[in-house]
Chain A
Amino acid sequence: MPDMNARLTRSSWIARITFLEAIRQRFFAFLLVLSAAMVVSSVSFRFMDFGHSELKFVADFAFGGMFLFGSVLALVMTAQLFFAEIDNRTALTLLAKPLSRTEFLLGKFLGTWAVLGVFVFSLAFLQGVILWSRTQELIVLAAESGRVAPDFSVSGLAAFAVLQWFRLGVVAAMVLMVSAVARTFLFAVIVGAMAIVAGQLQWLAQEALLKPSDANALTKGLLWLSSRVIPNLQQFNIGDTLVLDPTAISGDAVWSVVLSGFFYLVAFLALASLAFRRREI
């Protein structure tokens, strides 16, 4: 497999430089700091728990930050890192080398996904610290009042971080596919944002399909297509259950979400590669 090794080596070098470029961006630092501030401040907002348990509110608040800013980061950074190569014409130099366009795209994706990994796992670690610290306080309070002490699952938090990383990977692959076709950064970001919204609402198409209705064949066809082509991004958002009630979700269910994410990720990258093959640089 010397050819495959050479291909992976070339992609890994593209990924390495992409990662270095991304990690130096102020935009990344800004969103990371903003998200970290949201995670840390989640304890301060616990009085707004709307009747839920305190840990659930703290966890949901932080997950929301990770979800929102992670999505923005995956959307903007993927498109920006791709168009920087095209607009600055560094792609001219790189693609004139014995590097296939698929290797180039794979490298861009892997570099971006690695940065998203830094984002997700840093925030998950920080959230773990916050949850652990608050749990210790609640254990003392529970002992004093004779109530059951709350707890959270570290492995559940780790599983959630992995799921979020895959969700952002799917978003990045989707944006890369759009970028491979788009002529401008702005177009790629707008269409990418619409694709993320569609992914968040995909479950509606699935539910509509399951319900008996008198919709015509065209509507049913469109619903079926939407439920198959668009990834269901909501399926990754099971953080509170994984962290606070891990027994409610089986390991198989988590694995099926990971595999589904991996399938969409590979499919979007394959489509991006096809679209990019004949693009004029």
Chain B
Amino acid sequence: MTTASAISVQGLTKDFRVGLRGLKLRAVDNLTLEIPRGQVFGLLGPNGCGKSTTLKIVLGLVPATTGTISILGSPSATAAARQRTGFLPEAPYFHKFLTGRELVEYCARLSGVPADKVTAAVEASLELAAMTEAANRPIGTYSKGMLQRIGLAQAIVHDPELVILDEPTAGVDPVGSAAIGRMIHAMRAKGKTIVLCSHLLGQVEQVCDRVAIMDRGRLVLEGRVDEVLAQRDRHVITVEALSPAARAAAEAALAAHGATVTSITHPRRSLEDLFRELVTGSRDA
């Protein structure tokens, strides 16, 4: 464990007993992982790869079979560690009869926010989650995107140093998803550490500093996004107004230096970018 780590996982293994015969199902297999402070960390992997189980163990919701975990230097599964942690579960569900503001206040009280600071903390988190206008509506009337945003507000109401987001954009349209992406950037700008678990690889690529990929309970890759995605043996040159003659000359020049042009295509923007451009200004509220 290093003091610079927001989360330190050492040799974590989790076995579940299934069936009447108690057969062992290994969900996490000897995972060792350091998540540095002040960064956005993406935890990726296919369904059933063990990422949600890992997050639950980190938060003390599920006991580990073996291994040690610490959060910001404190042993995980202690109230002290969770005091500095905020969590948005996958597909969050909250009491429908509460209003958004009541829910966030409830969570502020449970998180130990002093009574005289609750109102300010609630308003600040609602504002960051862009939920101030809808805060007095019952949660039962919220859309999926609003549920995710109010979930984010309850996760950050006590100003935690570490925020864990499990599929924060699941079921949210691209505009809402982009809004959540902006919130993540805003939290990083405040020096928070964010752990993001998502299947939306495009978004992970945009917002994360580092990523780890898990498969069948094991860590298969970990590193900075730029480093793991870069293809060091290939290069991209983007040019405008490329005439056939200029193209032929460029190819000849590259060939003269021993380089091979493998493809020349037009750059594409992502469908998500196009969608967001076309529906700018609309919200899912």
Interface residues of A (CB under 8 A from B): 6, 9-10, 13-14, 17, 20-21, 24, 88-90, 92-100, 278, 280-281
Range of interface residues on B (Cβ < 8 Å): 20 to 34
Q: In the complex, which of the residues B63, B89, B97, B109 contacts A96, with contact meaning CB atoms closer than 8 Å?
A: B89
What CA separation (Å) do A58 and B76 show in the bound complex? Answer: 59
Report whether A280 and B95 are in contact in the complex, using a CB–CB cutoff of 8 Å.
no
The interface centre, meaning the residue of A6, A14, A99 with most chain B CB atoms within 10 A of its CB, is: A99
CB-CB nearest in chain A for B88: A93
Report whether A6 and B112 are in contact in the complex, using a CB–CB cutoff of 8 Å.
yes
Q: Contact mask B115-155 → A, CB, 8 Å, 1/0?
A: 00000000000000000000000000000000000010010
Shortest beta-carbon distance from A267 to chain B in Å: 25
Interface residues of B (CB under 8 A from A): 56, 59-63, 79-80, 82-83, 85, 87, 89, 91-95, 97-98, 106-107, 109-112, 151, 154
Report whether A88 and B97 are in contact in the complex, using a CB–CB cutoff of 8 Å.
no
What CA separation (Å) do A93 and B88 show in the bound complex? Answer: 7
Report whether A21 and B97 are in contact in the complex, using a CB–CB cutoff of 8 Å.
yes
CB-CB nearest in chain B for A107: B110
Q: In the complex, which of the residues B61, B80, B93, B106 contacts A88, with contact meaning CB atoms closer than 8 Å?
A: B93
Counting from the closest, the 10 A-B pairs by CB-CB distance are A96-B87, A98-B79, A98-B83, A281-B61, A92-B89, A98-B82, A280-B62, A96-B59, A13-B109, A97-B110
Query: Known: A98-B111, A281-B62. Is A93-B95 also a contact (CB below 8 A)?
Result: no
What CA separation (Å) do A92 and B112 show in the bound complex? Answer: 17
Shortest beta-carbon distance from B62 to chain A in Å: 5
Shortest beta-carbon distance from A252 to chain B in Å: 41
A9 partner residues in chain B, CB cutoff 8 A: 109
Report whether B97 and A90 are in contact in the complex, using a CB–CB cutoff of 8 Å.
no
What CA separation (Å) do A10 and B108 show in the bound complex? Answer: 10
Report whether A100 and B95 are in contact in the complex, using a CB–CB cutoff of 8 Å.
no
CB-CB nearest in chain A for B166: A92
What CA separation (Å) do A89 and B94 show in the bound complex? Answer: 8
B151 partner residues in chain A, CB cutoff 8 A: 93
Q: In the complex, which of the residues A10, A20, A278 contacts B110, with contact meaning CB atoms closer than 8 Å?
A: A10
Report whether B112 and A98 are in contact in the complex, using a CB–CB cutoff of 8 Å.
yes
CB-CB nearest in chain A for B53: A280
What CA separation (Å) do A88 and B140 show in the bound complex? Answer: 14
Report whether A93 and B92 are in contact in the complex, using a CB–CB cutoff of 8 Å.
yes
CB-CB nearest in chain A for B105: A13
